[in-house]
Amino acid sequence: MASFIRNAVLLMLLLVFSTSICDARKRRFVRVENNLALDGDLSLTVHCKSRDDDLGVKVLPINGTFEFSFKPNFIHTTQFYCSFQWPGRFEWFDIYKDSADKCSLCYWKVFPSAVCRLSWEFDINGAYTDCYPWNDHATHIIKS
């Protein structure tokens, strides 16, 4: 009987462990949209990368989008950060941080004052209500 209980406990632990690993390895989708229309009709230059991947430089017109997908690593340290540049401004933002972002569809809009994520869970209309300021340590105003 003790052998059966021990095996049942081991099986349950294995099931819990494999479930958490499967969730960690689900593909994540990130979309970035240029919403700089408030500052005029401005193109947005985006450059996203992680420790392992450089996704290259993209130039987005107003309402233009850039999308990428990836699978987070097993140890929950996956992070993608992007630089954003438009006339007179250069900003940085952590567009995905596995320790903080649990979204599988991470849709972002870039505004002059902040970056806002689509809130799937709390807004039935899918509004971009989760807004975050630019990274403080890397915010720069470019002098022309």
For the chain, domains (ranges, CATH) are: 27-141 (2.60.40.10)
Q: What pLDDT does residue 115 have? A: 94
> 120 pLDDT band (50/70/90 cuts)?
low
Say what the pTM is.
0.73
Q: What pLDDT does residue 137 have? A: 54
Reduced to 3 DSSP states, what percent helix, strand and coil does the chain have, rounded to the nearest 5?
A: 20, 40, 40
pLDDT digits (tens, 9 = 90+) for 67-91: 999 999 888 899 999 999 999 999 9
Q: What pLDDT does residue 76 have? A: 87
Burial 119-134 (b: 16+ CB within 10 A, else e): beeeeeeeebebeeeb
Between 136 and 143, name the one with better pLDDT.
136
> 46 pLDDT band (50/70/90 cuts)?
very high
Q: What pLDDT does residue 11 have? A: 58
Contacts of 68 (CB under 8 A, 6+ apart): 29, 30, 48, 55, 80
